[in-house]
């Protein structure tokens, strides 16, 4: 893998990741670009103990631009985008409208492909591996920054999720605090260790593999399964069989197997709501794909895993977070986890 780091016109970092060690990318940003006045603020919710980010400057960010004005496409035919090169494989840059910045963390955009109309599921295994290497690189480097507690790599896909740029991309957040979901998992894992003497995440994986009814896909080094108490209609967790804290600790064998398994899961998600006899479903399945990694502080019990879920519960219906979920964080799932796993096995390639 070749890694090329440069600066955009306003001083933000841009990094190209290429499979070809001889690849040369245009690193000169020819735009006359003024800096965005981004000064996010962290405020503590005294009722819950959760940190809330106030980022009012994001109101002015780009929202559903036409294809010929996409800021994530390569710079071509006299049009300059966030990526100066006329082509790229994987590119990562600091978000121009970040939720976290400066001493309050960092936000980055990960462009998976130069093809505007593609998706992660369209990537080759080699290109998906390159994305994994980029995620690993960002995890290692951002974790080394002073004040960063946790690195979170994720992808939102689909307007139903709230995506404002259609180009296939993900994001990386470097948090200066441990986010609430991570803190909750660490606390539960600590209690589990105290009661059983075992690691919670190892036990969750072992239980799912033994039950088999919720296993979606199993490899030599990874297993994908629907959790016993899934919150979302179709939710899959992907675990390496060997417990590691983050992406940087995966072995070469684990890295090599991941792309094929992950691409198969994404392609199954895109077949979930296809009607029998129809060649394709009306629109790609919206989803969130999220890597959970151990934070610097107190995360020794947390195991690296990926959580993939969709807000769609049937071909024409979405799972809205209404009063119970949004108001009380108490989820109600309309699809049994065992039925969801069966459907995901049914739509295998």
Query: According to the model, what pLDDT value does residue 232 have?
Result: 96
Query: According to the model, what pLDDT value does residue 281 have?
Result: 52
CA distance 55 to 38: 8
Closest CA to 152 of 164, 126, 170: 170
Query: According to the model, what pLDDT value does residue 113 have?
Result: 98
Query: According to the model, what pLDDT value does residue 125 have?
Result: 98
- Indicate which residue of 64, 169, 292, 305 is catalytic: 169
- Mean pLDDT by 10-residue block, N- to C-terminus, for the chain (349 residues)? 95 96 92 82 94 80 75 94 96 94 95 96 98 98 97 95 92 97 97 98 98 97 98 97 98 98 97 70 84 96 98 89 90 95 95
Query: According to the model, what pLDDT value does residue 292 have?
Result: 98
Query: According to the model, what pLDDT value does residue 66 have?
Result: 80
CATH C-level class of 181-346: alpha beta
CA contacts within 13 A on the Cβ side of 329: 4
Q: Is 280 exposed, middle or buried (0-12, 13-18, 19+ CB in 10 A)?
A: exposed
Tell whether residue 39 is among the known ligand binding residues: no
What is the pTM (predicted TM-score) of this model? 0.94
> Taking a C-beta distance cutoff of 8 angstroms, is the pair 81, 71 a contact?
yes
Tell whether residue 241 is among the known ligand binding residues: no
Q: How far is CA 87 from CA 125, 141, 315, 321, in A?
A: 19, 25, 36, 39
Query: According to the model, what pLDDT value does residue 347 have?
Result: 94
Domain 2-177 in CATH 3.40.50.300 = no
Same fold flag, 2-177 and 181-346: yes
80 counts as catalytic? no
Q: Which residue has the tokens 């505007």?
A: 116
Tell whether residue 111 is among the known ligand binding residues: no
As given in the structure block, the two tokens for residue 39 are 């000064």
CA diameter of the chain: 64
> Taking a C-beta distance cutoff of 8 angstroms, is the pair 199, 301 a contact?
yes
Query: According to the model, what pLDDT value does residue 109 have?
Result: 98
What are the residue ranges spanned by the domains of the chain? 2-177, 181-346
CA distance 29 to 40: 26
Tell whether residue 116 is among the known ligand binding residues: yes
Query: According to the model, what pLDDT value does residue 252 have?
Result: 98
Query: According to the model, what pLDDT value does residue 230 have?
Result: 97
Q: Mark residue 182 as left, alpha or beta (left: phi above 0; alpha: psi -120 to 50; beta: remaining).
A: alpha
Query: According to the model, what pLDDT value does residue 277 have?
Result: 54
Query: According to the model, what pLDDT value does residue 58 have?
Result: 74
């Amino acid at each position: 893998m070749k890694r090329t780091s440069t600066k955009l016109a306003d001083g933000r970092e841009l990094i190209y990741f290429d499979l070809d060690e001889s690849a040369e990318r245009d690193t000169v940003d020819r735009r006359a670009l003024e800096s965005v006045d981004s000064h996010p603020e962290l405020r503590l919710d005294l009722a819950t103990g959760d940190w809330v980010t106030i980022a009012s400057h994001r109101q002015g960010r780009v929202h559903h631009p036409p294809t010929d004005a996409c800021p994530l496409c390569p710079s071509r035919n006299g049009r300059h985008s966030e990526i100066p090169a006329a082509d790229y494989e994987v590119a990562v840059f600091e978000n121009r409208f970040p939720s976290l910045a400066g001493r309050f963390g960092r936000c980055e955009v990960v462009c998976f492909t130069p093809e505007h109309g593609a998706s992660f599921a369209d990537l080759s295994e080699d290109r998906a591996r390159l994305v994994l290497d980029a995620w690993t690189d960002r995890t290692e480097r951002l974790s080394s920054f002073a004040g960063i507690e946790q690195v979170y790599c994720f992808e939102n896909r689909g307007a139903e999720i709230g995506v404002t740029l259609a180009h296939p991309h993900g994001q990386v957040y470097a948090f200066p605090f441990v986010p609430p979901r991570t803190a909750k998992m660490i606390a539960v894992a600590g209690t589990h260790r105290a009661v059983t003497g075992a690691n919670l995440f190892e036990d969750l994986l072992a239980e799912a593999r033994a039950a088999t009814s919720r296993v979606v896909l199993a490899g030599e080094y990874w297993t994908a399964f629907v959790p016993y108490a899934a919150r979302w209609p179709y939710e899959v967790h992907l675990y390496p069989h060997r417990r590691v804290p983050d992406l940087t600790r995966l072995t070469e064998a684990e890295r090599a197997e991941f792309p094929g398994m992950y691409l198969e899961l994404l392609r199954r998600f895109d077949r979930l709501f296809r009607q029998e006899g129809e060649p394709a479903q009306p629109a790609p399945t919206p989803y969130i794909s999220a890597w959970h990694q151990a934070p610097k502080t107190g995360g020794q019990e947390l195991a690296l895993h990926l959580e993939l879920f969709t807000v769609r519960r049937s071909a024409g219906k979405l799972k809205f977070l209404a009063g119970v979920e949004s108001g009380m964080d108490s989820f109600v799932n309309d699809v049994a986890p065992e039925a969801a796993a069966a459907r995901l096995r049914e739509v295998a390639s």
